[in-house]
Amino acid sequence: MMAVVLRSLLTFIFLSLFWGSEVSYTFTDAAKMEILYEESLWTSGVGSAEYKHYRIPILTSTPNGDLLAFVEGRKTINDTDTRKKTIFMRRSADKGETWDPPVDLLHATNSKPGYYNLGTIVVDKINGSLLLLFSYCAFWNCSPNKFPTVYMLRSNNWGLNWTKPLNLASSNPGLKNISFIPGPGVGIQKMYEPYRGRLISCGHTRAKNNLQVAMRCIVSDDHGMTWRVAGGLVSIPYRSPHCDKDFEINESQLVELPDGSLLVNSRNEYHFDCKCRITSRSIDGAETFPWTQVQVDRNLADPSCQGSTILQGRTLLFSNPSNPNHRHNMTVKWSTDYGRTWDGALIINPADSAYSCLSPIDEKHVGLLYEKGHYKAVSFVKLRLE
């Protein structure tokens, strides 16, 4: 017991050396948000005869105005992360009012003996394409010390057609023999300097016995033709088994701020300092994440779960199950000063809820796709933000 306490204390002291003064947070009613309607897009036990369970929601809007929703389709109701799965997509051409039937994006390849993990969707507005990144692990090569492989699907007509899955390690030597699971959620294309046009997907490592990096990002400066590993943050203690209160972040989502810097919001796996979120910043396009730019945000309570963050105009939005101990209370919070303070919060579902993904719809509307009812459904919510 004394060793655990000592290690947690040393970790706190180490990070405190790099942190600046703490940020003060306040809640006001400076902005308003309301739920317009909610609809279940996938329900366990309903739909595909082969895939009965759906998890890991991803939502994005395309430049032609469509909304695209993605999930993992799993074989059985009680399926785990490491069983056979596929990736489904649904499209809405009327801003979430109606949705096309699900499309199996991996139908031609999902007979491979392994499993897929979503994943990030990246919209390349400059090149006019969508890139869906996900990981694949063959069953015979999926022990805790083996690394999954990153794959990519590309669409040049906003999701109407997709290429065959491309193994990024085969064309990018720097991605071979590394542990990287993108997302889950969305990646970004930088719209400001430095590195305007760069595609970025942030994620985490998987191998528990070889955690050199807790959060890392991969980048492409040629519209997804090639990728390489960029910056990240190491776990503390480094390359060592972890205990409660140790520093390890994963399942990260990022936004680009108007000054060209990146703000990353991450899952705080072992509740370092608090049962809340951890943020980090990069001023060089994800090449580095200085310790001086790492903060805990005690106003974002979190039970160690994935969350989502987007920039809607100049309003920063964040969604997660806002509860320090349980995956309950799906909530969307908003900030008008890029996360220094949080102006308000809207509870979407006070009951069981888990992973989520936000996406802009238009100037006044936002979509939320989230896991609801102890993973029984993946539900879409349309929100109006004033």
Residues known to be catalytic: 81, 355, 371
With the CA atoms of 373, 298, 385 and 286 taken in that order, what torsion angle do they form, in degrees rounded to the nearest 10?
-100
209: tokens are 């016995």
Of 278, 329, 322, 336, which Cα lies nearest the Cα of 33?
336
Going across the sheet that includes 85-92, the strands are 53-61, 67-74, 85-92, 103-104
374: tokens are 């102890």
- Cα–Cα–Cα angle for 61, 63, 67, rounded to 5 degrees: 25
Contact 59, 359 (CB under 8 A): yes
Continuous segment of H or E residues that includes residue 12? helix 2-16
Residue owning tokens 């004033």: 386
| AA identity, residue 192 | Y
Residue owning tokens 């303070």: 341
Please report how many Cα atoms fall inside a 13 Å half-sphere around the Cα of residue 96, on the Cβ side.
26
Residue owning tokens 């970790």: 11
16: tokens are 């405190």
CA distance 356 to 354: 7
